[in-house]
């Protein structure tokens, strides 16, 4: 017998909202998690982006919220994009209920968030901004009944665990704690042992169909890497792709040079203002732009449907990071392609990736490609102008090299600039 939300749920307003969203059957994680969450158990769920985890905790929370009370649930997420995404999904679920969901993250006016706090029933927040509000004594969590840690492993990677612990301690001991994480590293296990009570553990299968996901790599000299990327993007007809780079500066550099070669690409990384990041994602979701160049942190939690290609311009450091990147394509029964460009600087990282024997990555013959336009330094896409400074620039210059002082053992020492009085 097929399980549907009609049989799982009693709340007619939630059923109506899910019908509007054209959601009939629960995903595996939703089917397993809903009974446990409704039973007030602490739950640890290993689940990747795209598994349906937001609805897995949003639906039970929507059933429990008492609109006569203040903040009853807080959802902690690592990035602004995920904060907006979770809030949007949550609001769709409570469309026919008088439940107020407030997103709280940095990069935007804190005063506006403070003004809306008294009417909020559920807070979706990044740890840094939530701690800021807590320190200002405008956010009280002493009546929170449910705490959700979403993408917990990424919050650990980004250094937010201390903030997360502060926020956990601000909530009552008698609460329900839910953790969603793709992996469970030691730092996360410390949180579970210290702050969760007899948690139930759920593991879900990857939402990516590996039979539909084709994985390839090219062994390419670093000097030819960008030219090969341009060739591959131009060869595909209307690819809907993400190009992953290792740093913000690399994201800016590759985006600028792709545009110089007639490829409409948009950059997204943590150095952009929230308004700019939202503008980029809106254009990508609306398919006005087809190529997104992203850093890992900015891309974490972005649920982009029907992505056709993932390109690793820089090789990730672990098999888990690789799996997370490529898991953004080959969803919903559609085929997907993941291509990794491996240069000499990436050999160690790629060797670690290949230690995961479940990954089947086929080597392709590197084609001869034409040389394209490439500018080795660019102004950052951030609103604060900054020049890209990478290894290709050579040594950093300190004014006029000929005016430096070489008297200290023949070593070049730059001349000190005089201070204005």
| Whether the domain at 5-203 and the domain at 213-388 fall into the same CATH topology | yes
Tens digits of pLDDT across the chain (421 residues): 567 888 788 889 999 999 998 888 888 888 888 888 888 899 999 876 667 888 999 999 999 999 999 999 999 999 888 898 899 999 999 999 999 999 999 988 899 999 999 999 999 999 999 999 999 999 999 999 999 999 888 888 788 999 999 999 999 999 999 999 877 878 888 889 999 999 999 887 655 556 778 999 999 999 999 999 999 999 887 678 999 998 889 999 999 999 999 999 999 887 787 778 778 888 877 777 789 998 876 566 566 666 789 999 999 988 878 887 887 775 555 678 999 999 999 999 999 999 988 888 999 999 999 999 898 876 655 544 444 444 344 433 333 434 444 333 334 344 444 444 4
Cβ atoms of residues 387 and 379 within 8 Å: yes
Residue extents of the structural domains in the chain:
5-203, 213-388
Cβ atoms of residues 28 and 205 within 8 Å: yes
Task: Quote the CA–CA distance of 375 and 384 in Å, as a whole number.
Answer: 20
Length of the chain: 421
The CATH classification number of 5-203 equals 3.40.50.300
Q: What is the pTM of this model?
A: 0.68
Torsions phi, psi of 146, nearest 5? -135, 130
DSSP per position, 102-169: EEE-SSS-HHHHHHHGGG-SEEEE-HHHHHHHHHTT----TT--EEEEETHHHHHHTT-HHHHHHHHH
- List C-alpha distances in Å: 305 to 77, 320, 402: 20, 21, 56
Among 196, 65, 175, 39, which residue's Cα sits nearest to residue 122? 65
Q: Which residues pair with 216 in a beta bridge?
A: 339, 362
- The architecture in CATH of the region 213-388 reads 3-Layer(aba) Sandwich (3.40)
Among 178, 161, 166, 201, which residue's Cα sits nearest to residue 122? 178
């Amino acid at each position: 017998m097929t399980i549907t939300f009609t049989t799982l749920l009693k709340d007619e307003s939630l059923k109506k909202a899910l019908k509007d969203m054209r959601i009939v059957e629960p995903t595996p994680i939703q089917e397993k998690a809903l009974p446990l969450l409704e039973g007030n158990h602490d739950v640890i769920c290993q689940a990747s982006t795209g598994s349906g985890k937001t609805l897995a905790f949003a639906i039970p929370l929507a059933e429990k919220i008492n609109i006569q009370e203040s903040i009853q649930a807080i959802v902690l997420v690592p990035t602004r994009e995920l904060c907006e995404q979770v809030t949007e999904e949550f609001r769709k679920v409570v469309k026919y209920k008088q439940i107020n969901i407030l997103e709280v993250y940095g990069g935007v006016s804190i005063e506006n968030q403070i003004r809306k706090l008294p009417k909020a029933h559920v807070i979706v927040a990044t740890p840094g901004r939530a701690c800021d509000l807590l320190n200002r004594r405008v956010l009280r969590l002493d009546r929170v009944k449910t705490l959700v840690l979403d993408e917990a492993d990424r919050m650990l990677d980004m250094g937010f665990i201390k903030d997360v612990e502060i926020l956990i301690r601000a909530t009552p001991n008698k609460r329900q704690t839910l953790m969603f994480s793709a992996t469970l590293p030691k730092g996360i296990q410390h949180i579970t042992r210290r702050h969760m009570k007899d948690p139930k553990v759920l593991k879900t299968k990857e939402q990516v169909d590996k039979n539909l996901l084709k994985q390839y790599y090219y062994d390419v000299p670093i000097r030819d890497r960008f030219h090969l990327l341009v060739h591959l993007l131009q060869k595909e007809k209307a690819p809907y792709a993400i190009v992953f780079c290792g740093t913000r500066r690399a994201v800016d550099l590759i985006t600028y040079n792709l545009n110089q070669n007639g490829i409409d690409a948009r950059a997204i990384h943590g150095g952009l203002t929230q308004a700019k990041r939202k503008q980029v994602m809106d254009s990508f979701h609306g398919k006005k732009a087809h190529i997104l160049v992203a850093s890992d942190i900015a891309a974490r939690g972005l649920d982009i449907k029907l992505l056709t290609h993932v390109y690793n311009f820089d090789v990730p450091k672990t098999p888990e990071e690789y799996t997370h990147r490529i898991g953004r394509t080959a969803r919903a029964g559609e085929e997907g392609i993941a291509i990794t460009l491996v240069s000499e600087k990436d050999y160690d990282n790629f060797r670690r990736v290949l230690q995961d024997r479940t990954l089947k990555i086929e080597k392709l013959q590197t084609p001869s490609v034409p040389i394209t336009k490439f500018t080795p330094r660019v102004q950052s896409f951030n609103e604060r102008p900054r020049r890209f400074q990478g290894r290709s620039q050579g040594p950093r210059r300190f004014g006029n090299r000929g005016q430096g002082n070489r008297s200290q053992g023949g070593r070049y020492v730059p001349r000190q600039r005089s201070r204005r009085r």
